[in-house]
Amino acid sequence: MDILYGPWREGYFTDDLSDCVFCDIVNSPSSDNDNSVVFRNKDLFIVMNKYPYTPGHILIIPYMHVDSPEKLPRNIWLSMFSIAQDSMNILYEYGAHGINMGMNIKSVGGAGIPQHLHLHLLPRWNGDTNFITSIGNSRVYGVDFNSVYEKIKLLAKKYLG
C-alpha cells in the first residue's frame, strides 16, 4: 500500500467536531480569517474549501441550516446563484480557464457535510489533470493555501463589494 503523508489534515480527524462546521462559521464572524471566509452578506457567506480539489475552490453557503434546496426560501436560493454568477469573475481573474459548479445533496448525493447545503465553485486549468490524479487517485495542491485565500478575498471585495 502506498501512503501519502498529509499532516496538515490532522485537525480534520482529531479536532472535536461540532454538529455543523458551517453553522459554527455562521456564528463566529470574528473568526472569518481563521475560517477562510472571503465574503458575507445578509443571507450567505463564501468560504475557501479547507480541503480543496484545486486552488481557489470556494463554497457558497446559506446561513440557514438546511440539507436540501427545496427547504430554502426562494430569495436565498436566488441569492446563492446570483453570488455564484458574480463569483465566477473572481475565479477567472484569479486565472481559471474554466469552472466546475455544483451541489452534492445529502450523503447519498455525495455531500461531505450533508446537513448544511452548500454550492461548490472549482476553478479549472488546461492540463490540471496529471499523472498522480489519473493513476494515483490523489491530488497535489501545489500552492500556499493562505496566499490563495488572500488573493481570493481581495478579488471578492472587487466583485462582490
- Helix (H) or strand (E) run with residue 123 in it: strand 119-124
- H helices within the chain, ranges in order? 10-14, 21-26, 74-94, 131-136, 145-160
Contact (Cβ atoms closer than 8 angstroms) between residue 12 and residue 146 = no
Active site residue ranges = 118
d(C-alpha 99, C-alpha 28), whole Å:
29
3-class DSSP state of 16: coil
The answer to whether 23 and 29 have CB atoms below 8 angstroms apart is no
3-state secondary structure of 40: strand
**Cα–Cα distance for residue pair 111/106, rounded to 1 Å:** 5
